[in-house]
């Protein structure tokens, strides 16, 4: 679990998560990228969709 920095809601981090994966706050919809640390996963704000994204 992680706390959403925007709204303080609990964000569940699935057991099969990998570093770099995106999780979304169930309450406010903010997106975060998973960072692996010794203590488990932390979250940081995910990149917003870039002008040059996609295929």
Summarize as ranges the residues that interact with other proteins (CB under 8 A). 18-22, 33, 46-47, 50-55
Handedness of CA 6, 11, 16, 22 (dihedral sign): negative
- Measured from the CB of residue 49, what is the shortest distance to other proteins in angstroms? 9
Nearer to other proteins, 8 or 24 (CB): 24
Which residue, chain included where needed, has tokens 């990998």? 18
- Measured from the CB of residue 23, what is the shortest distance to other proteins in angstroms? 11
Task: Report how far residue 27's alpha carbon sits from residue 17's, in angstroms, rounded to the nearest whole number.
Answer: 20
Nearer to other proteins, 8 or 42 (CB): 42
């Amino acid at each position: 679990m992680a706390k959403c920095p925007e709204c303080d809601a609990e964000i569940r981090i699935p057991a099969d998560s990998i570093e770099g994966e995106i999780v979304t706050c169930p309450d406010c919809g903010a997106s975060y990228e998973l960072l692996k640390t010794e203590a488990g996963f932390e979250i940081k704000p995910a990149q917003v969709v870039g002008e040059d994204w996609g295929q």
